[in-house]
Structure 1
Amino acid sequence: MLGGLVSASTEALGGSRFSLLNVLPATVVVTAVVVFARAGAYSPNEPLRFDHVLPEGKRDALAIALFGLAALLCGILLRPFETALVQLLEGYWASPSPIAGLVPATVERHRRRRDDAKTVAEFDFTVPPPGANSTLRELAHHDRRISRVVRMKSRAEKVRDTYPTDDRLAAEHLEAAAQPTDLLPTLLGNVLRRGERVAGDRYGLDMMVVYPRLYPHISDRLESAVARQFELITSTASLSISFGLLSLATTPLLARLDPWSAAPLLAGALSLLAYRGAITASRGHSRLLATVFDLHRFDLAKAMHYELPGNPRAEYELNKDITDFLRPGSVAPLRDHETLESKDFKHPDGA
């Protein structure tokens, strides 16, 4: 009976995703800190006594039970902040955040990295062909030069394709002082933003505007794949922050100058590993978002009862008009829209 109650409660809170994403990261941090504290790790001159970690008597058993309950409650309370957690690692650092002042420097670093990679990727490296009477050594040297150029351009293209371009800002004639770049301060944020831009911009659709309207039309298999990939991003982002906090919490162990002094370094390495995992998952998420728009972009116009366009140019213009009308802050009625006001509806048969 108790097992069924726990299973039903977990399912109501999100199933296994709830346990992994909410309870596990917080539990790892708190458990590790409590274990090190009870073992005396924070006292540099005392040996570690892990035999003191195990509960002794009813009082310690009660403390463990309360700890488990507290971890569950923390998981429930932190559930609404999952998106904010990912946005923190994406680089949405607005005032009064204490790290908001780092945005200009970090964005400039990513801008230089993107622009340098773009220059290398698009530069025409010309390797002179070998002469007719070239020796075997000269031919081998020529092949090695070509291989180096190919590897260099391949690495540059991979870096370039990690970042969003600023083409949208130029197309919308935005003032440079208002928004100088589309880049974000972190690599994770830039990977996700490029995925958002590539998915819809090719068709004249702003993903952040139209995706909630497009979501009901996504096929079940594709929707499930997108949801799983996003869960993977949030879980690895949560683990990255948790291990980062654990690294800070165990920093005093460096004063012990024994093997346990490596604990904060190990936690920091695990935090970076989880962050890299989130970036890898974000690349897969970007491909899935592009697939959503490739396959379902016509469903938006069809659901709004507009006649489907007959060519790519007409599709792009219609999508731009729909995006502008749906954009947050647009309060003008449909009858006053500059281009949509004159379009005739095409209702489905039987509507």
Structure 2
Amino acid sequence: MGDIAKGVLGGGWSLLVGWVLPSAINLAVLLLAVGPQLRGDLGALDRMRPGTAGDAALLLLFGSILLGLVLNALQTLLYRFLEGYVLWPAWAYDHGCRVQRARRQRIKDRLETPDARLSPIRLGVLHERAERYPHRDEQVGPTSLANAIRRFEEYGHDRYRLDTQVLWNELMAAVPPQTSRAAETSRTSVDFFVALLYGHAGVAVAALAALPVAEDRALVLSAAALLCALVPLWYRSAVVATDEWAAAVRALVNLGRKPLADALGLELPQELAAERTMWRLVTRMSRRPYHPAAEEAFAPFRAAPGEPCLRRCGDAS
């Protein structure tokens, strides 16, 4: 029983809460708000109607699992569209980046010259909003979600030159289990709101498509309007939920540098400048073909078993 609980609290929990549960909510809305209003000869849809409450429950269960698995498999594409990296024309991407940079600058200006009427709580909220942006202008993306995610994607590189996008699997394998588990489950809330957002949009489209054969068109139209009105709320909730994800990734980088260096056969330098040089080399080694010059470049950082690491940090930096 304990092993089952551990499995549920691991990756299965993220899948269940992040993708299957919102799929169940959206299917329930579709079955309860739209389904009963459909009348007339619907062909194959008529044969799929559940005859009893038990049949409806089974349809909801298996449909939720199937839809949750599909959404989980497509999560990269779903995220990238909301971040503005996929299916966005160049002009929309550029316009979004300009808008986000201007919004970030307005928040920074308000923090640098705060209004005396702002309470400490409002100032704290402004600081939270400012922290949901990358520190460098060239890293600012076209949407709020893109920037909220980009801020922790660049954290390791900005501080230590450790590119977590390239070394993510190695980093997850090297850190203690509780740290890697926290990093895996911290995005569950974001997944939940993203799945809810797409599901609401899909149900709204289905409701609008069903209007010609709906018995109570006003009810179906009202349901579609309500779902559309909730989509921006779920998007905003997803952006706010990235705070926990960002904290987990920050802990992963800060606590995982030493275990990762040990696992790679390297010794973490005491000087920060030398450490940044080392992680830059590791990232370059992972992204580019091997070059004989890497032998000399890595020599100051390689740890010999049972012997102290003799590094020339001054020369490397």
**Normalising TM by the smaller chain, what interval?**
0.7 to 0.9
Q: Which residue of 1 aligns with 2:85?
A: 92
Name the CA shift for 1:207/1:98 in 2 (closer, same or farther; >3 Å).
closer
Structure 2 unaligned regions, length at least 5:
41-48, 308-317
SS in 2 for 1:202: helix
CA–CA distance in 2 between the matches of 1:73 and 1:198? 35
SS in 2 for 1:146: coil
- Is 2:127 aligned against 1:209? no
Preserved CA contact (<8 Å) 1:192 1:283: no
1:319 to 267, 279, 288: 279
- Is 2:179 aligned against 1:222? yes
2:76 to 78, 83, 104: 83
1:117-136 matched pairs, under 5 angstroms: 117-123=107-113
Q: Which residue of 2 aligns with 1:332?
A: 290
Structure (1 or 2) with the greater helix fraction: 2
CA–CA distance in 1 between the matches of 2:242 and 2:174? 23
Higher relative contact order (CA 8 A, sep 6+): 2
- Is 2:100 aligned against 1:110? yes
- Is 2:128 aligned against 1:161? no
Name the CA shift for 1:246/1:42 in 2 (closer, same or farther; >3 Å).
farther
CA–CA distance in 2 between the matches of 1:78 and 1:149? 42
Stretch deviating more after TM superposition (244-253 or 255-264):
255-264
RMSD: 3.9
CA–CA distance in 1 between the matches of 2:257 and 2:198? 36
Name the CA shift for 1:120/1:342 in 2 (closer, same or farther; >3 Å).
same
Name the CA shift for 1:76/1:206 in 2 (closer, same or farther; >3 Å).
closer
1:274-285 matched pairs, under 5 angstroms: 274-285=234-245
The structure number with the bigger radius of gyration is 1
SS in 2 for 1:86: helix
Deviations 1:313-335 (A, max 9, x none): 22222222222222x2x1133x3
CA–CA distance in 1 between the matches of 2:51 and 2:222? 29
CA–CA distance in 2 between the matches of 1:183 and 1:345? 36
Name the CA shift for 1:100/1:265 in 2 (closer, same or farther; >3 Å).
farther
Q: Residue 162 of structure 1: CA displacement?
A: 1.7
Preserved CA contact (<8 Å) 1:192 1:286: yes
TM-score normalised to the size of structure 1? 0.68
1:232-243 matched pairs, under 5 angstroms: 232-243=189-200
Question: Across the two proteins, how many residue pairs are aligned to each other?
Answer: 293
Question: Which amino acid in 2 is paired with 1:218?
Answer: V
Deviations 1:196-226 (A, max 9, x none): 2124421121221222221112112222221
Q: Residue 184 of structure 1: CA displacement?
A: 1.8
1:160-309 matched pairs, under 5 angstroms: 160-166=130-136, 181-251=138-208, 258=218, 261-309=221-269
Identity fraction in percent: 23
CA–CA distance in 2 between the matches of 1:42 and 1:106? 43
Q: Residue 159 of structure 1: CA displacement?
A: 3.2
SS in 2 for 1:224: helix
Deviations 1:51-107 (A, max 9, x none): xxx9557xx9878756754554444444322333233322222xxx26665212222
2:29 to 18, 27, 32: 32
Deviations 1:123-145 (A, max 9, x none): 4x7xxxxxxxxxxxxxxxxxxx6
Q: Residue 296 of structure 1: CA displacement?
A: 2.0
Preserved CA contact (<8 Å) 1:305 1:345: yes
